[in-house]
Structure 1
Amino acid sequence: MYVHHHGSGHLHRAQSVARALGTPVTGLSSLPCPEGWPGEWVRLPRDDEGGHPDDPSAGGRLHWVPLHDRGLADRMHRMSEWLVAARPRAVVVDSSVEVVLLVRLHGVPVVGVVAPGRRHDAVHRLGLEASTALVAPWPSGWTRRLLPGLPDHVRDRVLAVGAISRFPVGSPRPAAERRRHVALLAGTRGDDFTAELVQSARQQTPHWDWTVMSGVLGRWHPDPHAVIADADVVVTHAGQSALAEVAAARRPAVVVPQPRPYDEQDTTAAVLREGWPAVVTDGVPSNGWAELLDAAHALDGEGWRAWCDGSAATRLATVVEDVAGRRSSP
């Protein structure tokens, strides 16, 4: 499994799928090996620390291949060396067009994990079309909306398995006589939230208790499940893993999409406006927080069931097993 090092969502998803596979799995990533990983971990050199990149997109034909970058060369060499030695039955790539191509050039089948957004450009299409199988961590029926502009012959190959949460699916907590509690998932770097905006939101909602989970704005919780599960409302960005964890806990949400390449979060947020237990905003609000939290609190968190039913990792693992089982005898 190739695990992209940007953010933490790719790693969380990989851990869930690796557990579902129930067999030794090799991780390929620049991230450190997580505790309990069920197999080898190949630590890759970084390819984004070489200063000002020279022609990183190869004239628009790829996403990240800067010329004369030692980190890129060492990274690709390390993966190639492992592919030749290990002869894997399949590699899950989440997510990189360049890694899809490298693996495929070694004659190894690829299970590509697709992210939402406008990914109909030639580079994304190359990676999608070169993959042996394509899976998406969102519920079935929404792929056309979550991958706008993608040709039908590519989009029709995408199997939507549902959102993958590292936490077990829970049930909405019964109402209790207590002060209401809101949990803010602001991301590792806080995203567009600022200390001033968070303080203003607190002041506007004196009848709510806030827990701020952020590496820069509050306290970073590596395992936020207990906080999310105890919240009456969760305020979150529209990243896939954050939404999966909120959905698994069956908590209503205020979703604040953040700027991301290819309109990833905006595309997701547009879908969330259509009947899901979420109030979606346009950017971080400066006013109206009391009304937003009350509106979200009135929603039924059980409505997340179709988004995250707790079996998505198993479904993705089944795809991997099917692709890996196609290997012919030498």
Structure 2
Amino acid sequence: MIGYYVHHQGAGHQHRAAALARALDEPVVGLSSAPRPADWPGEWLHLDRDDEGGTALDPTAAGRLHWVPLGDAGLRRRTARVAQWLDAARPRLLVADVSVEIALLARLHGIPVVTVVVPGCRGDAAHRLGFDVSAELVGLWPPEAAGMLRDVPAEVAGRVRALGGLSRFPVRRPRPRRPGPPRVSYLAGTGGRVDDAVDAARAQTAGWEWSVLSRQHGSWVADPRAVVEDADVVVTHAGQNALAEVAAARRPAVVVPQPRPHDEQVTTADVLAAGPWPALVEPVFPAQGWERRLAEAAALDGAAWAPWCDGAAADRFAALLRGTR
């Protein structure tokens, strides 16, 4: 049995956990403050939140950890529940995606830990501690995507197994486009905003048909595959899950990173801009020039995404876990 800690922020952690669970031939128990996903194939241990206790006191333990607020009842209950589960279930390893504190808790119980490393500036003391206690470090980007980690020593970067982008959807050959005007899909993400800038972009591109997916806008769908595959261009943030799904659909993209802790999306966008990927990268959502921008993006060859996401990342991840003791 394997335990998989799933961070509750965003949907990407849940999607890749479910993809891995389906690829493995042993039970995977999810541990998370997020609700159990509809497609989760096994047991789900729901944990208390640790960020709803009001003003947080010394939440980083003087910079050694990321989130351990003093006196927080939710933190106490969730930590106790994970400890009880580790003792009762005795998993052979735990995947931390992502939490330094959960990784440490498992290792203190004598359980090997595999940490999913997220792009960005990860050289702080807490990240280093989590990396140091992990048996394996996994990066869900291709080996060709150099520079996804910043401010970490070379020996840490050298330990990361770059397995490729992990999409919950299979890689498909581009289908013949249906008749009609050129189409653009905008993926705002579960935390993304749809504001006046998007309305301005649509106004500048009267010849394009836009589909906007945003939880805030009320137009988000759990399965955006059809909307992505139907697009001539996808405008997206630089989250790992969104990029993997755009790459799996082999669609050219305009990528606009959103603010995230540790410069996660900014780092990913910089790597995309420096590489051979079929994406135009903008540091912020542009106010002007969308007609030209979409035409330029549509001319890119979406097949160039193949090294980013070849459809086998979940299988490689599963093979790595099978060999981890």
Matching residue of 1:223? 223
Give the SS at the match of 1:211: strand
* Residue 321 of structure 2 is aligned to residue 301 of structure 1: no
- State the SS of the aligned residue for 2:121: coil
Q: Which amino acid aligns with 2:247?
A: A
Q: Distance in 2 between matches of 1:139 and 1:104?
A: 28
Deviations 1:165-199 (A, max 9, x none): 000101223456520110000012324x41x1121
Structure 2: which amino acid aligns with 1:171? Answer: R
For the Cα contact (< 8 Å) 1:212–1:218, is it kept in 2?
Answer: no
Q: Which residue of 2 aligns with 1:242?
A: 242
Aligned match for 2:48, one of 38, 41, 45: 45
Counterpart residue number, 1:92: 95
> Which of 101, 120, 124 in structure 1 is aligned with 2:123?
120
Relative to the length of structure 1, the TM-score reads 0.95
Distance in 1 between the 2:217 and 2:37 partners?
25
2:37 matches 1:21: no
Over 3 Å off, 4+ runs: 173-177
Q: Secondary structure of the residue that 2:88 maps to in structure 1?
A: helix
Kindly indicate whether the alpha-carbon contact (under 8 Å) linking 1:27 and 1:40 is maintained by their aligned counterparts in 2.
yes
| Alignment check: 8 A CA contact 1:278 1:299 kept | yes
Q: Give the number of aligned pairs.
A: 321
The residue type paired with residue 146 of structure 1 is: M
Cα pair 1:247 1:308 within 8 Å, conserved: yes
Unaligned runs of 5+ in 1: none
CA distance, structure 1, for counterparts of residue 42 and residue 203 of structure 2: 48
Paired with 1:121 and 1:189, the residues of 2 have a C-alpha distance of 25
What's the counterpart of residue 269 of structure 1? Answer: 269
User: Structure 2, unaligned stretches of length 5 or more?
Assistant: none
Asked if the contact 2:177–2:230 (Cα under 8 Å) also holds between the matched residues in 1, the reply is no
1:74 corresponds, among 72, 77, 91, to 77
> By how many angstroms is 1:261 displaced?
1.0
- Aligned partner of 2:253 in structure 1 is 253
1:134 maps to 137
Q: Is the CA contact 2:95–2:116 (under 8 Å) kept in the aligned structure 1?
A: yes
Q: C-alpha separation between the residues in 2 aligned to 1:30 and 1:201?
A: 37
Normalized against structure 2, the TM-score is what? Answer: 0.96
Q: Which residue of 2 aligns with 1:157?
A: 159
Percent sequence identity over aligned pairs: 58
3-state secondary structure, aligned to 2:206: coil
- The answer to whether the Cα contact below 8 Å between 1:23 and 1:38 also exists between their aligned partners in 2 is no
**Residues of 1 paired with 2:191 and 2:11: CA distance?**
12
The whole-number CA distance in structure 2 between the counterparts of 1:188 and 1:239 is 10
What's the offset of the Cα at 1:113?
A: 0.4
Separation of aligned partners in 2, 1:36 and 1:215: 19
Residue in 2 aligned with 1:9? 12
Paired AA for residue 265 in structure 2: Q
Q: Aligned ranges for residues 272-291 of structure 1 at < 5 Å?
A: 272-273=272-273, 274-291=275-292
Aligned to 2:174: 172
- Deviation (angstroms), 1:201: 0.9
SS in structure 1 at match of 2:156? helix
CA drift of 1:111 comes to 0.8
Distance 1:242 1:51 in 2: 32
1:58-69 equivalences under 5 Å are 58-69=61-72
Equivalence for 2:209: 209
Instruction: Tell me which amino acid in the other structure corresponds to 2:12.
Output: G
Deviation at 1:116, TM superposition (A): 0.5
Q: Deviations over 1:199-226 (max 9, x none)?
A: 1111100000000000123501111001
Q: Distance in 2 between matches of 1:37 and 1:187?
A: 21
Does the 8 Å CA contact 2:10/2:191 hold for their aligned counterparts?
Answer: no
Q: Does 1:183 align with 2:185?
A: yes
What is the alpha-carbon distance in structure 1 between the residues aligned to residue 233 and residue 78 of structure 2? 42
Contact 2:51 2:74 in 1 (8 A): yes
Distance in 2 separating the partners of 1:96 and 1:238: 21
Equivalent AA in structure 2 for residue 66 of structure 1: P
In 2, Cα distance between equivalents of 1:7 and 1:303:
27
- For residues 176 and 50 of structure 1, what CA distance do their matches in structure 2 show? 52
Q: Distance in 2 between matches of 1:307 and 1:30?
A: 30
